């Protein structure tokens, strides 16, 4: 059965008050949905346990936005994949363009984190995507291939089994300018075909999300595409009503 993932990346937003309001509204409506869409919420780390207590035993799963490259030790201010697992995290976002840009994370760092996540049987949501300049110079496929190959080279041919990829063109994130759904479909097909060259099983079961200025008005156009298996949503995921509308759209297209 086809299943979508609708993931919320709350970034550096929220407070005890707003999160508790969001979760109360979500929980009051979520039972009326078909469960054809798995929902992931990635709050700031400090709120993970609070969110977990509210969503435990539902089809809403806990996501983390980042982990350190180490599992334990003298790394002040950091959180590890092991700690994330301990508090109920199932999915971990990595390779997000904001971390690549503001925290200097390169493909090497990302592939190290990827291996930590996989070794703990957690599910990475690996973000890949091109800049506007790369898109304009027709380099999108080469950039994506390079980002994927780093992972394949460090974790092996089966790296993308039980893994989620989020195609997020950098120029579409937080800009209000989303990509064209038909072009995204072709790119998702390209991603799956590339992975298929290494491992057919990975490619057949691969979930590829689209992210970049998705909202309740454009979500359907993306979710109708056969190789778009869900969405990674930033700003529109902060408003519970809008997020619920997107989940409903996802359920309806399946």
CA separation (Å) from 9 to 62, 63, 240? 11, 8, 13
How far is residue 147's CA from residue 166's CA, in Å, rounded to a whole number?
12
End-to-end CA distance of the chain: 9
User: Of 48 and 232, which CB lies nearer to ligand PEP in the complex structure?
Assistant: 232
Neighbours of 142 (CB within 10 A): 12
Residue 101: which residues within 8 A CB-CB, separation 6 or more? none
234 annotated to bind ligand: no
User: Of 13 and 154, which CB lies nearer to ligand PEP in the complex structure?
Assistant: 13
Q: Smallest distance from the beta carbon of 205 to ligand PEP, in angstroms?
A: 23
Q: Smallest distance from the beta carbon of 51 to ligand PEP, in angstroms?
A: 18
Q: Smallest distance from the beta carbon of 238 to ligand PEP, in angstroms?
A: 9
User: Of 162 and 235, which CB lies nearer to ligand PEP in the complex structure?
Assistant: 235
Pairing of strands 123-128, 164-167: parallel
Q: What is the dihedral of CA 109, 111, 115, 118, to 10 degrees?
A: 120
User: Of 71 and 171, which CB lies nearer to ligand PEP in the complex structure?
Assistant: 171
Taking CB atoms, the residue at the shortest distance from ligand PEP is 234
Token code pair at residue 120: 């703990």
Angle at 226 between CA 38 and CA 89, to 5 degrees: 25
User: Of 38 and 53, which CB lies nearer to ligand PEP in the complex structure?
Assistant: 38
213 annotated to bind ligand: yes
Q: Smallest distance from the beta carbon of 235 to ligand PEP, in angstroms?
A: 4
Residues serving a catalytic function are 96, 168
User: Counting Cβ atoms within 10 Å, is residue 176 exposed (0-12), middle (13-18) or buried (19+)?
Assistant: exposed
HEC letters along 199-223? CHHHHHHCEEEEECCCCCCCHHHHH
Footprint of ligand PEP (CB under 6 A): 9, 168, 173-174, 211-214, 232-236
Q: Smallest distance from the beta carbon of 57 to ligand PEP, in angstroms?
A: 27
129 annotated to bind ligand: no
Q: Residues marked as binding for substrate?
A: 9-11, 174, 213
Q: Residues marked as binding?
A: 9-11, 174, 213
């Amino acid at each position: 059965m086809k299943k979508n993932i609708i993931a919320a990346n709350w970034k550096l937003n929220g407070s005890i008050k707003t999160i508790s309001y969001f979760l109360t509204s979500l929980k009051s409506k979520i039972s009326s949905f078909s469960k054809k869409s798995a929902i992931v919420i990635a709050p700031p780390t400090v709120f993970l346990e609070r969110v977990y207590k509210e969503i435990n035993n539902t089809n809403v799963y806990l996501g983390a936005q980042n982990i350190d490259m180490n599992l334990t030790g003298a790394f002040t201010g950091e959180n590890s994949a092991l700690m994330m697992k301990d508090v109920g995290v199932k999915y971990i976002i990595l390779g997000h363009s904001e971390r690549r840009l503001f925290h200097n994370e390169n493909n090497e760092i990302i592939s190290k984190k990827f291996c930590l996540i996989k070794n703990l049987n957690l599910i990475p949501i690996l973000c890949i995507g091109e800049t506007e300049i790369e898109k304009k110079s027709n380099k999108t496929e080469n950039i994506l291939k390079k980002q994927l190959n780093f992972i394949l080279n460090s974790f092996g041919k089966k790296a993308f089994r039980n893994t989620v990829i989020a195609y997020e063109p950098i120029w579409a994130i937080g800009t209000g300018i989303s990509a064209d759904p038909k072009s995204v479909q072709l790119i998702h097909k390209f991603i799956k075909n590339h992975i298929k060259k290494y491992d057919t099983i990975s490619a057949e079961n691969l979930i590829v999300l689209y992210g970049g200025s998705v909202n309740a008005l454009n979500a359907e156009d993306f979710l109708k595409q056969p190789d778009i298996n869900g969405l990674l949503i930033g700003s529109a995921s902060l408003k519970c009503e809008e997020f619920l509308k997107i989940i409903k759209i996802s359920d309806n297209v399946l």
